[in-house]
Copies of this chain bind each other. A is one copy, B any other.
């Protein structure tokens, strides 16, 4: 027997109707390339987004067609986020930090027929445009000097006379947003979010137990809109009516701190690299900015060392909320909020918990698989995290090799090695491919990295596996020291020996000026492994 309930479709247009009707006068603020501030409202934004949809139709964009963006975070990019899926097409956010060869590959693989590009990114576009399938290039900028053969975004919008009642009926399972993984291995792979996935992700990620985003909030997403659906924030903010602040191309600590202060930002969100820079800037000038409005800094994309959480909290009164997700998950997976029980624990225990990945969002289900099947939830046993849920991908776009990422019973294999405690709190111990297998035992590179970064002289650290004649693999580390600080490798080894068994200790620790990172700010472990390919183990801590 079926329920007797309306067949209401969970779509992006439904979210936007709400935002326009209830929060039409809430602000959206953007920093432009020339550093000037542009302000308008959700009402303005959504009306223009509808016009964009109509204009794209006049260019021949039909249902399901992909429209690419090559843009920083700003109001026109938001209009693309809202307007393209609402017109029935698919918005495909190109990652401007990819190599032009990869951009050409991705645009062709997705079959993007139109691209909206920031005027300040035309130089990047030129590097791959000839190899891309774009029939139309729409330039988002100040309207001056639009190259021949390209369209000006504003001229295009002003050509639309009437955009009322242009929203088509959309099935909730239709594709809405496309985003490629910036995979460290192999070609980028395309993930295709449905309207339903985004609508449910929006509901779930606004909850107090996840990201807790409210109408009264002012949200600045440092996370680029070309990364993992901008963590869903453009949609979550629209649903709850939160003010949005878009930083444009100016992502340096000073520019961000200025915006935090001037716009009274209450929530910001970004990858650890961004917050590392910000923490250093705040440490250098501790009382320069009034950040009293800030409720929390959401960190995701890579694990946050506990020392960074402590640094923000204890030195600047700023709360880090640690989240974990993946492009394949739209992207929210887990959030490390403290439960009422955990809030009764000691401060140290609380910090340790906040450095973990936390509890799954509602309707995200988790399990971990070791070599002998599913592992126990005891906070100790390690296994690869598998997930399922209503916003988790079930395959990659036009891909022949999705299969190895999905289990036979339909769960997604995340590639993250985790332990899960008895209450479902997840801790990522490593990426599957970064795990160090030494003498048949697993060593967590993430645990060693976090401990190294807990040393007062260490700014950043990375640990990878190097070949070892006896133990097959052994851990080795590279470390960036804080400016003006010094430490010898043996000091760091002594520091680590307080927390780990001797056989976990890195066989060498090298001081470096910089750690190689991917376009998403993640440590590029493949480059580090390359560095240690020819290295030969000389000592053997396990023998001690």
Contact = CB atoms under 8 A, between A and B. Distances in A.
Interface in A281-298: none
A240 B209 contact: yes
A22 B359 contact: yes
Nearest to A425: B22
Contacts of A389: 6, 8
Interface string A465-493: 00000000000000000000000000000
A8 B363 contact: yes
Interface string A229-244: 0000000000111000
Contact of A392 (B5, B10, B18): B5
A393 B5 contact: yes
Contacts of A253: none
Nearest to A64: B1
A419 B102 CA distance: 55
Contact of A194 (B5, B175, B208): B5
Contacts of A359: 22
A128 interface: no
Contacts of A393: 4-6
Given A208-B208, A339-B241, A424 B8 contact: no
A192 interface: yes
Contacts of A373: none
A1 B216 CA distance: 36
Contacts of A21: 377, 424
A434 B291 CA distance: 52
Contacts of A388: 6, 8
A292 to B, nearest CB: 16
A176 to B, nearest CB: 7
A14 B364 CA distance: 9
Contact of A203 (B15, B176, B204, B391): B204
Which size class do A's interface residues fall under? Answer: 35 or more
Interface string A327-349: 00000000000011001000000
B3 A194 contact: yes
A465 to B, nearest CB: 33
Given A214-B209, A424-B21, A390 B175 contact: no
Contact of A3 (B6, B192, B215, B360): B192
Nearest to A207: B206
A3 B389 CA distance: 14
Given A207-B240, A215-B209, A423 B22 contact: yes
Contacts of A360: 18, 22
A1 B170 CA distance: 11
Nearest to A412: B6
Contacts of A410: 6
Contacts of A25: 423
A362 interface: yes
Interface string A415-430: 0000000011000000
Nearest to A395: B4
A306 to B, nearest CB: 23
A3 B339 contact: no
Nearest to A339: B215
A204 B207 CA distance: 9
Nearest to A173: B2
A1 B89 CA distance: 9
Contact of A193 (B5, B363, B394): B5
A503 interface: no
Contacts of A174: 1-3
A54 interface: no
A263 interface: no
Given A3-B192, A21-B424, A22-B424, A214 B203 contact: no
Q: Which of A22, A197, A212, A241 has the most CB of B within 10 A?
A: A22
Interface string A43-54: 000000000000
A16 B388 CA distance: 15
Given A1-B192, A200-B203, 7 more contacts: A3-B174, A3-B192, A4-B191, A18-B360, A22-B359, A203-B207, A203-B362
Interface of A: 1-8, 10, 14-15, 17-18, 21-25, 63-64, 90, 173-176, 191-197, 199-200, 202-204, 206-209, 212, 214-216, 239-241, 339-340, 343, 359-360, 362-363, 365, 377, 388-397, 410, 412, 423-424
Pairs A-B, 9 closest by C-beta atoms: A3-B194, A1-B64, A216-B340, A8-B390, A22-B424, A4-B192, A203-B203, A5-B197, A3-B175
